Every structure is written in structure tokens, then in C-alpha cells.
Amino acid sequence: MNIISISHKKAGLEERSRFAFSDEDKKEFRRQLFEIFPEIRECVILSTCNRCEIFWNGDDENVKEVEKFLCRYKNVPHSHAIGYLGIYTGSRAIRHLTRVACGIDSMVLGEDEILRQIKEAYYEAHESGATDYELNTIFQMAIAAAKEIKTSTGLSTTPVSIGTLVANMVSSLISEGYGNKVMILGITGKIGNITAKNIVAKGGVIVTGTTRKHNAEGLLPSYPQIKMAEFHDRYELMRDMDIIISSTESPHYTVTADEYIKTVGNDRKRIFIDLAVPPDIDSSIEELDNCRLVTIDYFKQLSEHNNNLKAEKALDARKKADMHADEIEKELRLHEIITKLPEIREMISANGIDKLVYGLRKKADKEQVEQIADWLLGNLI
């Protein structure tokens, strides 16, 4: 198998966009590819926002010509694209696919989306009749390998984004007995928006978001769990809240201890989570009974710790991906032998087994002879 890869590692968004493929575009590209290169009979095209990869069967003799054809097809000067095209052939190609499938080559380490995208790319090619034994075997085994690696290493279960970490904390707090009513000050901002979506995705939460403009810009309209309110009503609304999150760009505190005591009182336990820099929430809040304050520094430290964990898991995933790639290669090589069995039987029948065995003297080194001998003699007992 061979691969031409245009990915986020070398190509910018503009370059990647020029190599994007729709499903119809994939079909037309393959039609022309098979017509120009009759020796190529299989082709899978993976096209995402972060990468475009062309997979095809065969040896590496036509790689340069396929590379030039791809550039012509996309109207990109080959001299320009050569600086960011990645080329993988044979064993390196199979290893590359297994690593990509389990998320260790992604912009977000260990992300799950790429495996779904690889499945869809493979199924699209398969349903179009553009795969046969070689790519069927490679993609099916690589997809199965990625699932096993993600499960065994836990690579995808170690969150590093602030939004995910906050959502996990909210979920834990609710499990510990806090109520499920969450207020997010600055919900239409980038961090507030992402945090809200992560919290809602956990389920069982009612979110009230405040905005100075009384709109939900940036939020998807399909979140019935999110109610929008005016920012100036925040203290009155806070009386009914269990967890208060603040992430604004305000130069002033969004919550002060004095106003909290004056307007809300302190009759129940509440958690305050401050994700802003500079801080949104008056640190004196933590000195009040029933109040606990968690700042952005906690999540940054947790994120760094999780990043280190992810790096260790990614190393383990890489080793396992390469082991699975070796298994794919073994499967392909054994298939070659199986398809040649009638000819092998005919040769042995005509010349006897002696010629095959003694031929090892010329074709194999000492270690290989020992391995073959051990296997043969072990299976005769």
C-alpha cells in the first residue's frame, strides 16, 4: 500500500483546503486514477479538515506519478505542494494508517473523531467497488486495532481541555450531593460556550447562562437545558443555583463577597468556579461558610498533569499500533503464500521437499533457518 498525505503537521489550512474531497469528487478522482494507471485497482480517500490522504494498492513504482496526478487534479502546482506532501510506502504506510486511526497523529492527541472518519472513508470506497483484498484487509485490521488500542491504553479517556475538565468536576459535584442547577456567567464567550456544551453533554444538568446582550450568540439552538438570562439579574438568580461558573473578559469582579452575602445570603452550599484571567470572582468568597472557590490554576495544573499522562499513553499506543501493523503485514504475506499453494504443491510433487528445504541454505541466514527449523520440527511432534 502507498499513501500520499497532506496533514496539519506540514500544511496550513489554505493548503489543506485545496486538497479537500467531497464524495462525488472522490468517485471522479478514482475514475481518472484507474484509467490513467491500470495497475491500480484500489483506492481509499480520507478527507477531513486536518488531513487529506490517498491510499492505493501496489508497489511504490508509480508514487511520483500519482503524486503529480493528484496535484494536476486539484490544480495545485507540484513544485509548491512538494514541500508539504507526505509519502508513505509498504510497511511505513501500514504503520502510518494504524497510528492515524488510534489518534496519535491527530492535532488533539487521542481524539476519537478520526477513527469514525477513517471508517466512513473506507466504507465509501468499499461501496463504490474501489477496494479489494489488500485494502479491505489493511483497513479492517487497522480499524479493529485502533478500537483495541483506545480501550487498552485509555488514550481517549484522559481529558485535557478546560471545558471537559470543568464538566467532569460538575458531574462529580452533583454525584457528591450538590444540586444540578448551574449558572455560567459569560456563557457566550469562547470558554463559557465550550464549557456549557461539555456540561450539557454529561446530562442531568440545568444550565442558566447570563449575557449582557440577552442573546445566545455562539450557542447551538438545540439545547433545551440552557436558559438565557440578563447579566444584571445574576445575584437574584444565584439564590436558586448550586454551582456558579464565571468566564468573562470583564475588568471588574462578576461576583463579590459583599454583594453575595447582601443579595443571596449564605444558607446553602455552593461551588464557585472562576475560569477568567484576571479573576472574575472575589477570592473573599472562599472565606464564607458553605462556599468553595476553584480557580483556573487548578484546571491548568490538572490539564498539564493529564497531558503528561496522555504522552505516556500515546507512547504505549504507538508501540501497540506498530505491533498491529506487523500483524497486518503478516496477514498480507501469508495470503500471498495461500494463493500460491497449488503451485507450491506442484513444485514439491515434481521435485520433492528436499529442494525446498535445501534452498534455505542460499536464501536464509542462520537465525531465519533456526526459526523455520524450530517451527517445522515443533509442529511434527
**Is 266 marked within a binding site?**
no
The whole-angstrom separation of Cα 266 and Cα 184 is 19
**Is 103 marked within a binding site?**
no
Give the cell for residue 118. 477513517
Q: Where are the alpha helices (DSSP H) in the chain?
A: 13-18, 23-36, 63-73, 78-81, 90-101, 113-127, 133-153, 162-175, 190-202, 234-238, 257-259, 296-339, 341-358, 360-363, 366-380
**Is 117 marked within a binding site?**
yes
**Is 113 marked within a binding site?**
yes
The answer to whether 195 and 247 are in contact (CB under 8 A) is yes
**Is 163 marked within a binding site?**
no
SS (H, E, C) 43-66: EEEEECCCEEEEEECCCCCCHHHH
Q: Let me know if 102 is a catalytic residue.
A: no
Give the cell for residue 312. 505516556
Closest C-alpha to 155, from 319, 12, 33: 319
Give the cell for residue 296. 483556573
**Is 158 marked within a binding site?**
no
**Is 187 marked within a binding site?**
yes
Give the cell for residue 200. 450539557
**Is 336 marked within a binding site?**
no
Catalytic residue among 43, 49, 52, 71: 49
**Is 54 marked within a binding site?**
no
**Is 2 marked within a binding site?**
no
Distances (CA, A) of 125 to 44, 86, 92, 100, 139: 5, 21, 22, 18, 11
**Is 190 marked within a binding site?**
yes
**Is 48 marked within a binding site?**
yes
**Is 296 marked within a binding site?**
no
| Catalytic residue numbers, as ranges | 49
* Known binding-site positions for NADP(+): 187-192
Residues annotated within the binding site are: 48-51, 106, 111-113, 117, 187-192
Name the binding residues for substrate.
Answer: 48-51, 106, 111-113, 117
